[in-house]
């Protein structure tokens, strides 16, 4: 029955798009879905962009097999807000996650709205088996644990970061879980997540239902801890690299090898051809670890392009033309409505994300420019619990890079590296964008981002 409903929905979608017919290009059966999300991977920390000191053959092969997105933005320059946007299709502050969700209440700046509708919940309704392997970072306790948000299986890490990739602890506590049970596995976290993902994929080959796997690696988030053999390999090949850069390159190359193993499990189990694979990162690269964000300004935690633009591609054999690229502006939250449209699943709540399925299928888009809004709230002496924001509309970008810095305005069309602040000579544009930005801030301010303090 699910497949009949799916085909009927596709017919309606093709009529509403007045296109060449989405239903003619999509399969009769729903595809498997694999989202691979890396953590703090720099915009140019992939060799498919020609970066000379790094080798990512598995990411490169996947990218060449599908469509590369050169203007893909994370919803925030830090992890948890972007993950909230990915899981809900909404701006992160509209679901209560403007900043990082942490285990210490005095340094916690987000609380996922328990009523928020998530991607796995919707896909379960559409007949999918759902699994999350890797980093969650959207809640440490009920009602916001992964199994309560739509995942049949959770095998991974609840907290934001690991203090050690082999000990799997944060502040001396173990946040590794199999569903809601604490576990203490042995091995490097990247290897564990790779192994668990491969095992899950192989197990799903026997199932009648399609699967949705959200594979979220902690790597290459600091502490940068590649296995020794990977460090030796890079040092032998690139003896002149600074030690920090060599370590990060080895960390990413080890991650790339893990991704290759996951894709191999898809191919060997006969599921690769009917699996759409979405690869992205949660924010820009961390410059203190010598991440490479290309020519983009700054990096993680920054509202400049280097903090927000992320390496992204989508692969689906026989459906997405290989070797293609898109300069369309998209955000992490757009993945939700794209997958809803692809699977013929009705969206029953308001989302701010916009489907880019037409782009994937090579169908010309006629959408107008839209507002792209970014937020981060943070504590400490630098931020003091305040939020800071950015807004893009067309070529124009308005930003405040910390709560204490003045507003800046850039024309990305002629200044993509954000070298020249043109706010003084473009006061009309500034006023227009600031008015839009204030509206977004007001909307986000209506949603609580802290759970009641008595519940800690």
Least confident of 86-90, 170-174, 450-454: 450-454
Indicate if 394 and 258 belong to the same structural domain.
no
Measured distance CA(395)–CA(448) in Å, rounded: 32
CATH number of the domain encompassing residue 386: 3.30.1120.10
Domain boundary at 308, 340, 360, which? 360
Q: Residue 24: what pLDDT?
A: 37
Indicate if 347 and 387 belong to the same structural domain.
no
Residue with the larger pLDDT of the pair 19 and 13: 13
Quick check: is 2 in a domain?
A: no
Quick check: is 24 in a domain?
A: no
Indicate if 416 and 323 belong to the same structural domain.
no
Domain that holds residue 391: 372-455
Position 19 pLDDT exceeds 50: no
Indicate if 139 and 279 belong to the same structural domain.
yes
Close Cβ partners of 432 (under 8 Å, ≥ 6 residues apart) = none
Domain boundary at 303, 337, 360, which? 360
pLDDT digits (tens, 9 = 90+) for 272-319: 999 999 999 999 999 999 999 999 999 999 999 999 999 999 999 999
Q: Give the model's confidence band at 27: pLDDT under 50 very low, under 70 low, under 90 confident, else very high.
A: low
Measured distance CA(242)–CA(248) in Å, rounded: 10
Q: Residue 60: what pLDDT?
A: 98
Indicate if 403 and 339 belong to the same structural domain.
no
Position 161 pLDDT exceeds 70: yes
Percentage of residues in the chain with pLDDT exceeding 90? Answer: 91
Indicate if 355 and 388 belong to the same structural domain.
no
Q: Residue 28: what pLDDT?
A: 62
Q: Tell me the average pLDDT across 145-152.
A: 98
pLDDT digits (tens, 9 = 90+) for 169-222: 999 999 999 999 999 999 999 999 999 999 999 999 999 999 999 999 999 999
pTM reported for the whole predicted model: 0.94
Q: Tell me the average pLDDT across 59-65.
A: 98
Quick check: is 261 in a domain?
A: yes
Least confident of 18-27, 49-58, 72-81, 134-143: 18-27
Domain boundary at 310, 335, 360, which? 360
Indicate if 35 and 181 belong to the same structural domain.
yes
Indicate if 238 and 385 belong to the same structural domain.
no
Q: Give the model's confidence band at 70: pLDDT under 50 very low, under 70 low, under 90 confident, else very high.
A: very high
**What is the number of domains present in the chain?**
2
Q: Residue 285: what pLDDT?
A: 98
pLDDT digits (tens, 9 = 90+) for 370-425: 999 999 999 999 999 999 999 999 999 999 999 999 999 999 999 999 999 999 99
Q: Residue 451: what pLDDT?
A: 84
Position 436 pLDDT exceeds 60: yes
Quick check: is 10 in a domain?
A: no
Quick check: is 12 in a domain?
A: no
Close Cβ partners of 367 (under 8 Å, ≥ 6 residues apart) = 354
Quick check: is 3 in a domain?
A: no
Quick check: is 244 in a domain?
A: yes
Measured distance CA(282)–CA(41) in Å, rounded: 8
- For the chain, what is the mean pLDDT? 94
Indicate if 341 and 271 belong to the same structural domain.
yes
Measured distance CA(38)–CA(68) in Å, rounded: 16
pLDDT digits (tens, 9 = 90+) for 336-346: 999 999 999 99
**CA dihedral defined by 195, 288, 107, 406, rounded to 10 degrees?**
-130
Indicate if 104 and 245 belong to the same structural domain.
yes
Indicate if 355 and 387 belong to the same structural domain.
no
Q: Give the model's confidence band at 255: pLDDT under 50 very low, under 70 low, under 90 confident, else very high.
A: very high
Q: Residue 8: what pLDDT?
A: 43
Quick check: is 66 in a domain?
A: yes
Distances from the Cα of 241 to the Cα of 246, 249, 262, 284, 295, angstroms? 6, 10, 29, 21, 19
Indicate if 350 and 405 belong to the same structural domain.
no
CATH number of the domain encompassing residue 214: 3.40.720.10
């Amino acid at each position: 029955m699910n497949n009949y409903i799916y085909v009927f929905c596709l017919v309606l979608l093709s009529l509403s798009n007045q296109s060449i017919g989405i239903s003619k290009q999509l399969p009769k059966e729903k595809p498997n879905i694999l989202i691979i999300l890396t953590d703090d991977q720099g915009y140019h920390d992939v060799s498919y962009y020609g970066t000379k000191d790094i080798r990512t053959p598995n990411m490169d092969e996947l990218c060449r097999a599908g469509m590369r997105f050169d203007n893909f933005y994370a919803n925030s320059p830090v992890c948890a807000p972007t993950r909230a946007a990915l899981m809900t299709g909404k701006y992160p502050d509209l679901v209560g996650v403007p900043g990082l969700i942490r285990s210490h209440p005095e340094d916690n700046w987000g609380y996922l709205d328990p009523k928020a509708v998530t991607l796995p919940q919707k896909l379960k309704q559409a007949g999918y088996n759902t699994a999350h392997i890797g980093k969650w970072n959207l809640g440490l306790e009920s009602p916001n644990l992964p199994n309560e948000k739509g995942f049949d299986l959770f095998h991974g890490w609840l907290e934001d970061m690991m203090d050690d990739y082999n000990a799997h602890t944060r502040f001396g506590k173990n946040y590794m879980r199999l569903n809601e049970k604490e576990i203490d596995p042995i091995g490097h976290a990247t290897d564990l997540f790779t192994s668990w993902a491969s095992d899950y994929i192989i197990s799903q080959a026997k199932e009648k239902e399609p699967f949705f796997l959200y594979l979220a690696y902690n790597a290459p988030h600091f502490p940068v801890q590649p296995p020794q053999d990977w460090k030796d390999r890079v040092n032998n090949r690139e003896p002149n690299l600074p030690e920090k850069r060599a370590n990060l390159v080895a960390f990413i190359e080890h991650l790339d090898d893990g991704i290759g193993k996951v894709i191999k499990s898809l191919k060997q189990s006969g599921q690769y051809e009917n699996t759409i694979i979405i690869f992205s990162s949660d924010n820009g690269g961390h410059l203190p670890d010598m991440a490479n964000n290309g020519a983009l300004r700054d990096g993680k935690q920054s509202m400049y392009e280097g903090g927000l633009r992320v390496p992204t591609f989508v692969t689906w054999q026989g459906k997405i033309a290989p070797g293609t690229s898109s300069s369309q502006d998209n955000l992490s939250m757009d993945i939700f409505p794209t997958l809803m449209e692809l699977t013929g699943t009705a969206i029953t709540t308001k989302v701010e994300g916009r489907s880019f399925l037409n782009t994937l299928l090579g169908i010309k888009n006629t959408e107008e420019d839209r507002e792209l809004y970014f937020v981060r709230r943070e504590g400490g002496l630098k931020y003091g619990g305040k939020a800071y924001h950015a807004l893009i509309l067309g070529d124009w970008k308005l930003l405040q890079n910390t709560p204490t810095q003045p507003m800046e305005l850039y024309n990305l069309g002629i200044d993509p590296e954000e070298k020249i602040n043109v706010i003084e000579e473009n006061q009309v544009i500034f006023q227009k964008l600031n008015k839009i930005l204030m509206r977004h801030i007001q909307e986000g301010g209506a949603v609580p981002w802290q759970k009641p303090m008595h519940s800690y």
